[in-house]
Chains A and B, each alone.
Chain A
Amino acid sequence: MSENILVVGGGPAGLNAAVMLSELGVNVALVERDSFLGGNPKKFKYKFLFPDMQPADNVIGELIKKAEAGGGIKVYYSSEISDFKENGKKFDVTLKSADGSEKKTFDSVIVATGFEHFDPARDAKYSYQLFDDVIDIKDLERMMGENNFVRPSNGKPPKKIAFILCVGSRDRHVGNQYCSRVCCTVSVKQAIELREHFPDCEAYIFYMDIRTYGFFEDLYWQAMEEYDVQIVKGRIAEITSGPDNTVICKGEDTLLRGPFEIPFDMVVLASGMEGGPQSPEISSKLGIELDEHGFLKPENITLSPFKSNKPGIFLAGACTGPKAISDSITEGAAAAMNAYTYAVKNR
């Protein structure tokens, strides 16, 4: 008889965990809240992925294909856990979907419920939702994914665009002190894509630190050397409306210009990652710990970042903190290995 393992969340982390487990012959129940698999990359139609600009479909599409191929994976779309009980070393779980409820016993559980994008409307200084031409990186990802990159205000291509980093991250006012890790690289990547497809659109990036860590740094250098992206040190203090249907970014260039007010056709806010409402929900439903940043808390952040504080429940991906797809996929595999070992030991 093979093991039964529950995977919650069908983003990159959960998908990879499910696929690896099915390759081991495990019966996997993959529960996804949305009506489709692929997580945030799919929802916001990411088109090309950093670091190497490969089509997102290579990665996400591949994983979805494998998960949906049947094998040992049963996907529960538009579903959630409605009841969760420990039963000795196992778990009695009720899965609820539009079609009804199903009660099953699992040997172990992997939580891969991911992140939510910070809603930039929460920080009034950026005037998101006030001005049509102020969007954020997920909106831009979707626009480019849909081949529909124009100014929302008038449908015309922009001639000058600004990226503002650290929106909703590294800011005590919005309650997020941490760095979201990917938004620098996403912004640099998007600036490169823009300059490539729209060479007469100038691109500026306003930063406080550029955190294109590790090999992501290549993109940063490329943005300056090959794509002539203007990179200015200074966080934006205010966005106001300007003449000729522009939006004005006001701030301090801390290295060169001093005070500045620059009009742009469009502004893109690099909004960060949050634990979202799903993290506290799943934390209380499964009885696992939440950290002070609003993400799920691993038992030991360095030694076992893929283990929850509760034996038999494992964690993977952005539900434990901001990270890139490659890290999420790696953690999916690590959690799968651990969930499998636990299941076999307690059979």
Chain B
Amino acid sequence: MEYDENGVSIVPSEFKKEIFEEAGKDFRYQEYVRGCLNCGVCTGGCPPHRFFDFSPRIVLQNMKSKDPELIWTMMDEYIWACFQCFTCAMICPFLNSPGGIIAILREIAVRRGFESAKKVLKPYSRVLLKLTAYGNQLSPDMIQPDFFPDWGPTIGYASTDLAVKRKAIPMPTLQVTNLSWDVAPEAMKELYAIFDEAGVFKIIEAVDPSLYEIIQDIVDDVRSS
């Protein structure tokens, strides 16, 4: 990467164009980007719009401009402000899906291992590891105040005495706290096959190479078992 005198990376315009074209080729693009009335309904209904300088209307307008520069400006921070709630798609009178476009752009950022994607996905590495290693997304011992600030003030209570609380659940819970449920090795192998096909491992390799190595070891173990 080249840098200018202020240390800001210089991104060649060909590269920006390539990113735009990659988005345009996505099979969902035609469905998500239609006409736009610039009416602001999507933004009016968008939850993060009230907290950040962020507007799904601008996302759609930038996309419709077909200007690679404008689209590039969103890749760093803009697209990560979205909650992916799809309220915008539900209320847009033109049936656009600004949230869907954001999903497309995020996938590009992830596939290509952009810094922004790495930063955003960092907190999820534990989830990814759990998922690939045990087929569980979340286990009780992952519920800790530092990792779930958005769970509100009771998270502290929720994260203590897990073993006892777990016993109180009137369903088979394995009586452990590092797993939510037991996944059979056959199911794990199927899951890996799906991850392979869908390019999930490639994505993990792009955004977090060291996590990728750990995961690969586990995958090899399970596959050879």
User: In the complex, which of the residues B38, B45, B91 contacts A254, with contact meaning CB atoms closer than 8 Å?
Assistant: B38
- With A170-B37, A259-B49, A259-B50 already in contact, the answer to whether A252 and B93 are too (CB < 8 A) is no
Q: Which of A29-37, A217-225, A234-242, A333-341 contacts B (4 or more CB under 8 A)?
A: A234-242
- Give the chain B neighbours of A236 by CB distance below 8 A: 41, 44
Q: Determine if A235 and B95 form an interchain contact, defined as CB atoms under 8 angstroms apart.
A: no
Contacting pair B93 A251 (CB below 8 A): no
- Choice from B44, B57, B95 contacting A172 with Cβ under 8 Å: B95
Using known A-B contacts A237-B45, A259-B49, A259-B50, determine if residue A252 contacts B40 with beta carbons closer than 8 Å: yes
Q: What residues of A have a CB within 8 angstroms of the CB of B97 in the complex? A: none
B83 CB–A CB distance under 8 Å: no
Asked if A171 contacts B93 (CB within 8 A), the reply is yes
The one of A170, A209, A237 in contact with B44, judged by C-beta atoms closer than 8 angstroms, is A237
Which residue of B has the minimal Cβ distance to A251? B44
Nearest B residue to A209, CB-CB: B37
Tell me whether A208 is interfacial, beta carbon within 8 Å. yes
Q: Which residues of B contact A (CB under 8 A)?
A: 37-45, 49-50, 55, 57, 91, 93-95
* Chain B hits for A209, CB < 8 A: 37
Q: Decide yes or no whether A285 CB sits under 8 A from chain B.
A: no
CB distance from B109 to the nearest CB of A (A): 25
Contact B95 A252 (CB under 8 A): no
Taking a contact as CB atoms under 8 Å apart, the answer to whether A172 and B40 are in contact is no
A-B pair count, CB < 8 Å, reads 64
Which residues of A230-259 have CB atoms within 8 Å of chain B's CB atoms? 233-238, 250-254, 258-259
Q: Are A172 and B91 in contact (CB under 8 A)?
A: no
A residues 88-113 in Cβ contact with B at 8 Å: none
Are the C-beta atoms of A254 and B49 separated by less than 8 Å?
no
Q: CA of A236 to CA of B39 in the docked complex: distance in angstroms?
A: 9
Most buried by B among A125, A166, A233, A235: A235
The answer to whether A235 and B45 touch (CB under 8 A), given A173-B95, A252-B55, A252-B57, is: no
- Counting from the closest, the 5 A-B pairs by CB-CB distance are A237-B44, A252-B40, A251-B44, A237-B45, A171-B93
Given the complex of chains A and B, what is the CA–CA distance between A58 and B7 in angstroms? 74
Closest-by-CB residue of B relative to A233 is B40
Q: How far is the CA of A216 from the CA of B39 in the complex (A)?
A: 22
A177 to chain B, nearest CB (A): 9
Q: Using Cβ atoms and an 8 Å threshold, which residues of chain A touch B91? A: 125, 173, 237
Q: Judging by beta carbons under 8 Å apart, are B38 and A208 in contact?
A: yes
A172-B94, A173-B93, A235-B39 are known contacts; what are 20 more A-B pairs with Cβ within 8 Å? Answer: A166-B93, A172-B93, A173-B91, A173-B95, A233-B40, A235-B37, A237-B40, A237-B91, A251-B40, A251-B41, A251-B43, A252-B40, A252-B41, A252-B44, A254-B39, A254-B40, A258-B49, A259-B44, A259-B49, A259-B50
